[in-house]
Structure 1
Amino acid sequence: MSKPLVSVVVITYNHENYIKQTLDSILSQNTDFDFEVVVGEDKSPDNTLEVCKRYGDRITLIHSDENVGMIPNFIRTLEAAKGKYIAVCEGDDYWTDPLKLQKQVDFLESHPDYVICWTDYSILKDNGELTSTDFNFNEDVVEINYNNLFRPYCTYTLTSMFKQEAFDFELYKSLKYYKDNSLYVLLLREGKGAFLNFVSSVYRIHEGGVFSLTSNYHKNYTSYLNIKEIMDAVPESQTKNMKRVLHSLGNATAFGLLKLKQKGEILTDDQLKFMTDYFKNGNFKTKFKYFKRRFLK
């Protein structure tokens, strides 16, 4: 194969029951360009690695004798990607539109001021129910920038494609709380983002999912730390919209902790410090809301 135009990056852990559907959906893409599939397998305790090995030279398989963790696995898999564009799909999700890659490449190639794009997707619940999102966009293409990023949260990793040259890899690796949100904020320094209004993929919610069944408190807290860190690193991202996103996540975290405490759960020192500091430094509305919940109920 000549140098691929697109690298599809797949990270997988404990996905024995799903990874075949993921890889088959990627390898069945119809394109007029070459693409590679780079799979990072993170020492799964099940047979995920064995399933991946069956694909032979149709994929580039990265694995090791020890578990390195989700983000280090993502980074080492990204580092192996050779394409001008990178598309991402985790090993328990899958694509449904055989022209997904072609449509996204066509858009990015014809719109050089855009550096990343996403699409709509469906949600597959653990009980087999397939549901749609409710973004309610009327346009075929919706511009995504710091003024509307994450409102609504339509930028899911399994649909993303971005220009590799626009990605500041070293800054990304230097972050303590990095995740896919960090990647998006970094990329939007270099150009615009686009939501392409067609369904290309399925996001799977299941018992073994890393994030989909995580507690609301943990989701909010880790997202708060992540967004705060990346906004500090990218000052131009500190728009009114992004500040609202951060405030919403902070409120959800602090009031979630307060609710747990009022139920009699024992909070860690870090949790207590976060909650105390957040309410102490919050605006008047936050403090008043805290006062009502703390003392008037």
Structure 2
Amino acid sequence: MSDLLKYENNFSKINHFDLKLSHGDLNYNKTPLVTIAIPTYKRANLLKQALDSALNQKGFSDYEVIVIDDENDPGNETETQKLIKKYNDPKLLYYRYEGKSTLGMAGAWNKCLEMARGKWYSMLHDDDLLKENFLDEMMQILNSNPNISFLKAQHDHIDERDLSDLNYEYRSGTVEKMFEKKVEKFSEIDYILLNPIGGPVGIILDREKAIKLGGFNEKTYPAIDYAFFTKYCLEYDTYYYHKNLCSYRIAQNISLKNGVLMNCAKIHYDIINDLMSKNIPRKIFFKKYPAYYYLKAAKHIKEFWGVEVTEEEIKFLEKDKNLSIFWMGTYGVFKRLWRIKKMIFSKYPVQEV
């Protein structure tokens, strides 16, 4: 049993005095309903696209956009600072971190949560994009369904990799297509079976509840988002809107380096073990599922991401690294039946907007 899902206050690790407001007016809208927060570090060219997508929302205007810049270069004007100066939108607030070291991923994400002033919170990576109707449609759902405190929109992909050497294509099964434009409630079983939320792009959640959970834990790197969303699901309901309202960018970056993706899969493996051990029926049925997930993840990492998986990275599975056809087939069928069952019997809080 790991400590990955236990409560930990991750805000106390940040020096609050090292973040300076360098652009924007806090008095323009003192109580925005929604905050879109963009953590960034040395990616001004991509940040511009993300920032434009956040500022140019249509049909909904009660929001702020905050940028938390983790690049500290005393005495020099950075490319990000030059970019921000070109904006004259009163919704935009730009903060620079001036500490002795960087905030890091978890620190920057937590600082975004702290500096946000909206009741509702959405984090946008500096290389991802929002469709112009993202806030309008998502807030219609949230405003008409007070039981929802976490809502994720479906995303498409901006794939900038060279795919010539990969044997993979994006595809969506018939069952998944039948969920289109519906809102699906996720349970703990969904978090055992897969990472149902994916990356944080396209999520709107209750900021106060996220803070009560202690924020993002650096110990769960590089699966910080999955660990946090799983923890959120254990305390509050999480929902998924099956409509494409945002874009997730896939590029050649640190995530594709050998070891990072498998480390992410290992965090998933540990969390699945935590979830399945909560009661005896789960322990019995899902006893081989962590190994099944990890082996499937290794195959996906090789085929989709083009990253080699070493024997050392699966060595810890010991006897389960050659999982029997029975277990592979059983879990494969169960996952498909689970999706069909949810499609047929789930009661959606809303239909399409």
Question: Where on the TM-score scale, by shorter chain, does this alignment land: which range?
Answer: 0.7 to 0.9
Q: TM-score, normalised by structure 2?
A: 0.64
Where does residue 95 of structure 2 map in the other structure? 62
2:105 and 2:60 map into 1 onto residues whose CA distance is: 32
Mind listing any 5+ residue stretches in structure 2 that lack a counterpart?
A: 1-28, 164-168, 303-307, 328-353
For the pair 1:193 / 2:238, whether they are aligned, the reply is yes
When structure 1 is superposed on structure 2, of 165-174 and 225-234 the one drifting more is 225-234
Letter in 2 for 1:47: E
Q: Does the CA contact (< 8 Å) of 1:84 and 1:165 recur in 2?
A: yes
Q: TM-score, normalised by structure 1?
A: 0.74
1:191 and 1:78 map into 2 onto residues whose CA distance is: 18
Q: Does the CA contact (< 8 Å) of 1:142 and 1:196 recur in 2?
A: yes
The CA deviation at 1:43 is 0.7
Q: Does the CA contact (< 8 Å) of 1:108 and 1:114 recur in 2?
A: yes
1:239 and 1:35 map into 2 onto residues whose CA distance is: 45
The CA deviation at 1:138 is 1.4
Change in 2 beyond 3 A, CA 1:173/1:162? closer
For the pair 1:121 / 2:155, whether they are aligned, the reply is yes
Q: Using CA pairs under 8 Å that are at least 6 residues apart, name the structure with larger relative contact order, 1 or 2.
A: 2
Q: Does the CA contact (< 8 Å) of 1:11 and 1:41 recur in 2?
A: yes
1:238 and 1:51 map into 2 onto residues whose CA distance is: 55
For the pair 1:279 / 2:318, whether they are aligned, the reply is yes
Determine what percentage of the aligned residue pairs are the same residue. Answer: 19
The CA deviation at 1:10 is 0.8
Where does residue 178 of structure 2 map in the other structure? 138
Letter in 1 for 2:159: K
For the pair 1:28 / 2:44, whether they are aligned, the reply is no
Change in 2 beyond 3 A, CA 1:218/1:253? farther
Letter in 1 for 2:83: V
Letter in 2 for 1:220: M
Secondary structure at the counterpart of residue 148 of structure 1: helix
Change in 2 beyond 3 A, CA 1:144/1:193? same
Instruction: Give 1:95's match in structure 2, choosing from 130, 152, 159.
Output: 130
The CA deviation at 1:92 is 0.6
Instruction: Give 1:260's match in structure 2, choosing from 299, 310, 331.
Output: 310
Show the 5 A alignment for 1:1-297: 1-43=29-71, 47-55=79-87, 57-65=90-98, 66-96=101-131, 98-126=132-160, 134=172, 136-139=176-179, 140-149=182-191, 151=194, 153-169=196-212, 171-173=214-216, 176-178=219-221, 179-208=224-253, 210-211=254-255, 213-215=256-258, 217-225=259-267, 228=270, 232=274, 240=282, 246-251=290-295, 260-261=310-311, 275-276=315-316, 278-279=317-318, 282=320, 285=323
